[in-house]
């Protein structure tokens, strides 16, 4: 009986350890996916010409200005 209880405790401990490892694996897979997306983004940027980069920058600046204007408008409404 004692041997069985000890074996069950050990199995439970190993089960928890495996679950912990699986959680770690899932987290690392998610991080790898995000890093892969960032690498693809940087490779895309690297392949862009200077003109394309300036256009993208200008588009982002316009978006920022639009968001700022929307924020001012919303604050005025509040």
Q: Quick one: 33 and 43 in the same domain?
A: yes
pLDDT of residue 77: 84
Mean pLDDT of all residues belonging to the chain: 92
Backbone angles phi, psi at 8, to 5 degrees: -65, -40
Q: Quick one: 7 and 41 in the same domain?
A: yes
Q: Which two tokens stand for residue 67?
A: 């968001």
Distances (CA, A) of 27 to 11, 16, 31, 35: 24, 17, 6, 12
Domain range for 67: 49-78
Q: Quick one: 57 and 39 in the same domain?
A: no
Q: Which of left, alpha, beta for 76 (phi over 0: left; psi -120 to 50: alpha)? A: alpha
Q: Quick one: 37 and 61 in the same domain?
A: no
For 51-69, the pLDDT digits (tens) are 888 898 999 999 999 999 9
Residue 33 — very low, low, confident or very high, per pLDDT cuts 50/70/90?
very high
Q: Quick one: 43 and 53 in the same domain?
A: no
Q: Which residue has the tokens 């928890």?
A: 16
CB atoms within 10 A of CB 48: 13
């Amino acid at each position: 009986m004692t041997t069985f209880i000890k074996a069950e405790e050990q199995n439970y401990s190993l089960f928890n350890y495996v679950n912990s490892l699986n959680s770690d694996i899932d987290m690392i897979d998610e991080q790898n996916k995000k890093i892969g997306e960032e690498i693809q983004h940087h490779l895309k940027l690297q392949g862009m010409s200077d003109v394309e980069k300036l256009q993208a920058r200008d588009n982002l600046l316009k978006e920022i200005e639009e968001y700022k204007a929307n924020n001012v408008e919303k604050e005025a409404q509040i």
